[in-house]
Structure 1
Amino acid sequence: MPKNVFIMGGGEGSTARELLRHKTIDKVVMCDIDEEVVEFCKSYLVVNKEAFHDSRLEVVINDARAELEGKEERYDIIVGDLADPIEGGPCYKLYTKDFYELSLKPKLKKGGIFVTQVKSWRI
């Protein structure tokens, strides 16, 4: 059973909300680069209010790559809940083969999984 999860992005809290429905989850780290979005959603998105007040949720304001590379912790699940990979955009480099192999994969526990959303047909 997965115990700890790292969410790249997800500042609105919906992914955290769904993960925290599972009582087997001990810890969810939600790392979003945009503090204003996170604070707005904490205050105004009633549907996610419970998730933001769950003691198992740790909210980190940072670049996901920097956060993963700067910590020793490894995760059972890493979720990419990011904006589309528009060239020059804030998430573009989080959709590269180098990022997946060099930054993300080493942070997965043995048997861990990575899941991401992809809406762009250009990938």
Structure 2
Amino acid sequence: MIRNKTTLVFGILITLQSCVSTKFDCTDKKACKKIEYHLEVISNYLFYSKENVESVVTSAEFMEKISGHDSEADYEFSGKSPPTINDYDTWTAWYTANYNNLRYNRRMKKVYQIKPE
């Protein structure tokens, strides 16, 4: 009986850890999760065609604003085009280099970047 409870507690701890895990050991996990979400939306569209254009454009605009790297996509009659693979690679490299400088402002519900020390 004690073994079953120990196994259950251990399983719950592993589950909780996976719920808050991010690609990197970030200082602010909520900020990293937001960035990783937007990168995943873009990746799913570019490589698997799983996302709609509106959500991809929204994620691309978010990544442009936070990273300072503009998309190569042009504006069309219907609005902005989805990002390119080069955009995705640029934003992923930026995230890899800056993940510990990201913070989430819970009051304003925004991700921002601090200056590295």
TM-score normalised according to structure 2 size = 0.26
| More helix per residue | 2
Bigger Rg, which one:
2
TM-score normalised according to structure 1 size = 0.25
| More strand per residue | 1
